[in-house]
Structure 1
Amino acid sequence: MYLYGASGHCKVIIDSIESSNSKKIEGVFDDDINLKKILNIPILKYDNFDKHQIHELFISVGNNSVRKIIAESIKATYGTVIHVSAYVSKYASINKGTAVLANAVVNTSAKIGKHCIINTGAIVEHDCELEDYVHISPNASLAGNVKIGEGSHIGIGAQIIQGITIGKWVTIGAGTVVIRNVPDNSLFVGNPAREIKK
């Protein structure tokens, strides 16, 4: 397996892959010519690399819009990453390119899209639906039947009550408590959540 993006998030992805010893990381692609290694894994340049050697790729970039740009520009077989301490129900579905990190929970009948991040200790309860490129930050909690639109970022420690719909490319600030639906392309903060920016 190869990773794309040698960031801090990449370190967490490496740790999650190594937690299960299920895949060997051959290298990490990054555009920064000054980087040589990350956690003892060699950093490579994608442009001049023999693409036939890449049997599986994972985008290790935390930024949702950048992750989408990379995924749409590189045709590859994308894998999933699930930390050994995460709980994923056998009745949940996890799409390609998604990471479920340490102590996270994805419960029964949840549907997770492509290239999502369910970060450390996050909870995605039963029947939730996450579209592609969503990031649920550490310790954020989604109650049952929550729907999150493409590219939205749920901040650290945020809480969303059951049955809520969050639009596309939304940012929910850290510690925010969401008790009503949130429209596309907006920023909500506070308890209860209030819109502060379109």
Structure 2
Amino acid sequence: MHNVIIFGASSHGSVVLDCLEKEDKFNVIGFVDSFKPKGSLVNGYQVLGSEYDLPYLMSRLNIEGGIVAVGDNWIRKKVVDKILEIIPGFNFVNTIHPKAIIGKDVVIGSGNVIMPGAIVNANSILHDFCILNSNSILEHDCEIGDYASLAPSSCCGGNVFVGSFSSICLGASVVNGIEIGEHSVIGAGALVVSHFGDKLIAYGSPAQFVRSREIGEPYLSTIKKRYFSNLASLEDIV
């Protein structure tokens, strides 16, 4: 069983840990987190240090891979970039909770998290570093770009395309055949019946364009509080 680490010891990290434990494919060694004290415990696992400790940790603990547990799509990308800067070619693993359902001929990239109750139906494609949260549905023949995410109980009908870094928020539904561009956010509870482009926020039923957004603009309240209250600290890790 390969030794792996989790990057990010927040509440999202705890959910990713639960997926890894239930899947029972990897041996979790601990967390890497720049915001928590080294040696502190999270769900019984130790925080081993920051990204800069990786070379030592990998040689000392025989670590063969890991997964980034950061809920915000853009920050997840920045953390991945930092890891690859320190350890080029680092092995990012997937975790798929055993209560998720994966259909026939589904293609899954690397670094993805698929949580309990999630459904990915036949012929769909997940690129890299995506999150499919609890009870989210990705119907047949869908495609989800790098670093995109589906929030809990969101649903994409058949033949939906979601661009890189975009987020379908809590309970939102996207009808069949819709395309959503990159870096866009579909708000909680929205019903999407028309196409949307890049770098925008839309919500409502039916969903309407609300405003444009900047690349990397935070959209999760917990991320805003934790990561953007101290920009200097954020820059230290990304």
- TM-score of the superposed pair, with normalisation by structure 2: 0.81
The answer as to whether partners of 2:201 and 2:209 remain within 8 angstroms in 1 is yes
Which consecutive unaligned segments of at least 5 residues does structure 2 have? 85-89, 213-238
Of 43, 50, 53 in structure 2, the residue corresponding to residue 39 of structure 1 is 43
Residue 14 of structure 2 is aligned to residue 11 of structure 1: yes
Alignment-mate amino acid for residue 98 of structure 2 = V
List structure 1 runs of 4+ shifted beyond 2 angstroms: 51-54
Question: Superposed, which structure 2 residues align to 1:18-33 within 5 Å?
Answer: 18-33=21-36
Count, aligned residues: 198
Give 5+ residue unaligned stretches, structure 1.
none
What is the CA distance between 1:89 and its match in structure 2? 1.4
The counterpart of 1:70, out of the listed 51, 72, 79, is 79
The 3 A distance-change label for structure 1 pair 121 and 33 is closer
Cα deviation, residue 71, structure 1: 1.4
Selected match of 1:124 from 120, 135, 138: 138
The SS at the match of 1:9 is helix
What SS does structure 1 have at the residue aligned with 2:18? helix
What TM-score, normalized by structure 1, do the two folds share?
Answer: 0.97
1:48-197 matches, cutoff 5 A: 48-49=53-54, 50=56, 51-52=58-59, 53-75=62-84, 76-197=90-211
- Could you tell me how far apart the structure 1 residues matched to 2:80 and 2:35 are? 19
Q: Helix, strand or coil for the counterpart of 1:108?
A: coil
Structure ranking higher in helix proportion: 2
Provide the C-alpha distance between the structure 2 equivalents of 1:33 and 1:99, rounded to a whole number of angstroms: 22
**Percent pairwise identity:** 30
